[in-house]
Structures are given as C-alpha cells and as structure tokens.
C-alpha cells in the first residue's frame, strides 16, 4: 500500500533532467550514449530515459576526460575495468582483521 504523503523515487529520468543532474549539456550526454559510455533506454516516442545512477557515471567520464586526458575509447576501457573490480570485490570473501585462515 502506498501513501500519497510518502515521497516517490523515480526510477528513471529524461535526457534533460539527467544532463542537469550531471552538470553537462544534453547534447554531451547524447554523445556519451552514442559512444556507448552511458546506457539509455528509448520509449515509443524516441525519448531517451536514464537510470538515476547516470550522473555519477557521467562525473567519472568527465573527470577521466578532463582531469586525466583519457580519450573516449580509453574511458570505455577504464569503465569496464572499474565495473570488473567492483564485481570481484563483491565476490571476495570478507576477512576480519587478524584472520590468518589462508596459512
């Protein structure tokens, strides 16, 4: 049961809202989609819709490109590697400090 008084979290945002949240121009965000750096979903009208996590990803892309001078092909590789590292970290068993079970 939902209440009209509880805040509703929108699962997706449109192109303009995602660009504003990321601090970039909508055309730049569309370019990132075309390059495959950001995933967007298209509805029946052709409008692009983005997950709420897109601004964080865009900040990473902009930082890699502007601050570290990584080109867009390199950014795709870095993003893939970061996703793989995150996946491996989630699979890693958690060890408590001082645990020497490997010996």
Q: Which residue in 16, 56, 66, 51 sits closest to 75, CA to CA?
A: 66
pTM for the full predicted model:
0.75
Residue 7 counted as domain residue: no
Q: According to the model, what pLDDT value does residue 47 have?
A: 93
Q: In what order do the strands lie in the sheet with 12-14?
A: 12-14, 48-51, 41-42
| Tally of domains in the chain | 1
Q: What are phi and psi of 48, to 5 degrees?
A: -90, 140
Residue 27: predicted pLDDT: 97
Domain around 28: 12-91
State the pLDDT confidence band at 11, using cuts at 50, 70 and 90: confident
* Residue 22 Cα to chain centre, angstroms: 10
In angstroms, the Cα distances linking 100 to 46, 94, 95 are 56, 12, 9
CATH code of the domain covering residue 58? 1.10.1660.10
Residue 56's pLDDT is 94
**38 lies in some domain:** yes
């Amino acid at each position: 049961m939902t209440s009209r008084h509880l805040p509703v979290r929108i699962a997706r945002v449109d192109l303009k809202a995602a660009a504003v949240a990321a601090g970039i121009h909508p055309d730049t965000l569309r370019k990132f989609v075309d390059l495959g750096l950001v995933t967007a979903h298209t509805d029946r009208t052709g409008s692009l819709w983005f997950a709420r996590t897109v601004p964080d990803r865009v900040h990473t892309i902009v930082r890699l490109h502007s601050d570290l001078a990584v080109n867009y092909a390199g950014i795709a590789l870095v993003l893939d590697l970061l996703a793989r590292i995150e996946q491996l970290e989630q699979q890693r068993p958690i060890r408590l400090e001082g645990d020497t079970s490997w010996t």
